[in-house]
Amino acid sequence: MTADPGSMQKCWIYVSESTSSDSVRTADVEAIVEGSILRNDSLGVTGALLLCQGRFAQLLEGGRESLEVLQRSILADPRHRLVTTLADISIDRRAFGDWSLAYSGQSEFFAAILNDFALGGAQAGSAAAAEKVLQLFAEFARSLPQKSTW
């Protein structure tokens, strides 16, 4: 993994909502994952994506310039809307060894966590709701292999 030696590293976490009326379709998930793996690998970006009941949550970490490229692209992606930043911070070291789809499904438990950080809801952006999303990523970072086995 390229670690951008000498340059500042950043971590960006956001939650967003699918523009598709249904949950994200399997074919769409495959396309998103395939495209993300290629793009993130070429940019030296690591992290994880969660897809649950029409909500996206993604953690991306990498060099400042690489993340800015990705941010622009993600903000302009018509497949989702209401991109809400949860954290956009400088980091000393990364949590993930590569980029992967950490979860894609209909889990009611995960949906509740993402919905608590509800886009436009009463709890929107509350510290407690944000903390739960951060903890979710921290757990996935802990449980996922640190290096890709591919």
Which of 2, 72, 108, 121 touches another protein (CB under 8 A)?
108
Segment contacting another protein (CB under 8 A): 2-10, 57-65, 89-97, 101-109?
101-109
Q: Which is nearer to another protein, 69 or 144 (CB)?
A: 144
Which of 7, 42, 123, 135 touches another protein (CB under 8 A)?
135
Q: Can residue 121 be called a binding residue for another protein (CB under 8 A)?
A: no
Which of 109, 127, 128, 150 touches another protein (CB under 8 A)?
109
Q: Which residue has the tokens 């980029």?
A: 99
Which of 34, 65, 88, 139 touches another protein (CB under 8 A)?
139
For the CB of residue 108, give the shortest distance to another protein in the complex, in Å. 5
Which residues lie across from 140 on neighbouring strands?
none
Q: Which residue has the tokens 């379709």?
A: 25
Number of shown-chain residues binding another protein (CB under 8 A): 14
Q: Which is nearer to another protein, 82 or 87 (CB)?
A: 87
Segment contacting another protein (CB under 8 A): 2-10, 27-35, 116-124, 129-137?
129-137
Alpha carbons within 13 A on the beta-carbon side of 34: 6
What crossing angle do the helices spanning 127-143 and 108-116 adopt, rounded to 10°? 140
Give ∠ CA 74-88-123 in degrees, rounded to 5. Answer: 90
Q: Is the Cα torsion angle 91, 4, 148, 39 positive or negative in sign? A: positive
Q: Please classify residue 50 by burial: count the beta carbons closer than 10 Å to its beta carbon, then call 0-12 exposed, 13-18 middle and 19+ buried.
A: buried
| Site for another protein, rule CB under 8 A | 103, 105-110, 113, 132, 135-136, 139-140, 143
